[in-house]
Every structure is written in structure tokens, then in C-alpha cells.
Amino acid sequence: MRNIKLTIEYDGTHFHGWQIQDLKQRTVQGEIKKSLKKVFKKDITLYGSGRTDSGVHAIHQVANFKIESYLDHTEILRAINASLPEDISILKAEEANENFHAQFDAKNKTYCYSILNRPARSAMHRDYSYYFPVKLNLKAMRQEAKALVGKKDFKSFRATPPANTKEKNTIRTIKSVTIKKRGDFVLVEIMANGFLHKMVRNIVGTLIAIGAGHKRSGHIREILRAKNRSFAGKTAHPKGLCLVKVNY
């Protein structure tokens, strides 16, 4: 039995997230499973590194599946992509250790949130960034973001998880938070050993409020101590969020 590791890119605009929850809803996992069934003529279990919500994108999602097949990696890559919709692409198919698991073996993940920070909205980037016309104070955002780094209880930044999610432990370790200015865009990049439901978007919504001058210095420390979602800022729109790296 071979264990095949996939590196996947997708535009999440028209998906109800990564994971299959309702067969009537279009999901990334569901579309890839359909393609695998066409290629291998059987239902195949596909494990992803983690969920992404509706509207969230990925340039480096990872998944794996097990199969008995004589097709080489190039043939598997071409065959899967041939029957996938245009908003999903398998970038790489490779042989993995028989015990490799895309979710359980992941050491950390990096998400990047794109904020278009200028007076005029964009026609070209409307599906891949959040438009915020008020100039953001990046110095204040970076200063407050320091309080997020380390092993902490991020309960205040967790949205109510889906009913089928057993997410009781709210302790996570954020390795780094980087806030960069690139042209008209402010990019918030967060690396952690794992993320709670909508955690990145809740953090970004809070940082935007700080950058806009709506929250005072020390606000994030207060939020963390409160362990209460109502203390954090609004949830940022999903279209600005992208999974950019999964490390093993």
C-alpha cells in the first residue's frame, strides 16, 4: 500500500471550506475525492493538514491518501488535475512514509492575511484581500502583536467551533507574527503549531481595530487574560486569508 502526499493550491471563493460536512455543499476535499474516484475507480479516504473555512484560500495545503497503484507520481498528478475544477490545482504528488499523516504530523502552519489599505477599493484583488480604507498604524499593530507570541491560552480568539469539532484545549503556541507593508497591502503573517476555529481572523480583526486607533496599548494582553471571545475584535472577512505553508 502506497502513501501519497499531495501539495494543493485552491481559490476558496466558491467553496464551503476544505472539509466535507454536507454532500450538497461544494468543498475542496469533496472535489479532490471525486477526482480520486475517477482516477482509481474507488472511494478513497483523503486526510488534510487541517480545515480552512468558507472563502479561505491556500497556496500550500497538504493532504495524503493510501492506494495500491502502479501509476508513478507524474501520472498521478496529471490524472487528478485532469478532472479537477479550475479553482483547485495539485502542485505536487510524492511518495510519503507509510506512517505519514497530513494532519497529525504537521509541526506548524503559516497563514497570511492580506489587507488592502488605501482610499479606493480594488476590482482585481476583491476576492483575495480585505479592503480597509482607514490608514493603519503598523507600529501600534506590531507592538501589540508581540503579546501573541508564545504558548498561551487563545480562548478569547476562538469562535464557537462547529458541532462536530472536539476542540476543548485552547492552548496554542504562536511562533511568530509578522506585519509587513507591500505597496497598498498590509500583510499579517502568523505561524503557529495549530489554530483554533477562526483564530487567525479574530486576531487580525483585533489588530485592525488597534491599527485604526480604536483600541489602546495593552489591549491584547487584556484579551488573553479575559479568556472571553467578546473581549476581542470583529472576525475579519475570510477572503483575505490564505494558508501559505505547512511544515513537517
Catalytic residues, by residue number, are 53
CA gap 49, 12 in Å, rounded:
16
* Other C-beta atoms lying within 10 Å of the C-beta of residue 68: 8
Using only C-alpha atoms, what is the Rg of the chain?
19
CA gap 145, 107 in Å, rounded:
22
Torsion angle of the four alpha carbons 116, 120, 126, 132, in this order, in degrees rounded to the nearest 10: 40
* Contact assessment for residue 109 and residue 191, using Cβ atoms and an 8 Å cutoff: yes
In terms of Cα–Cα distance, which of 104, 89, 118 is closest to 7?
A: 89
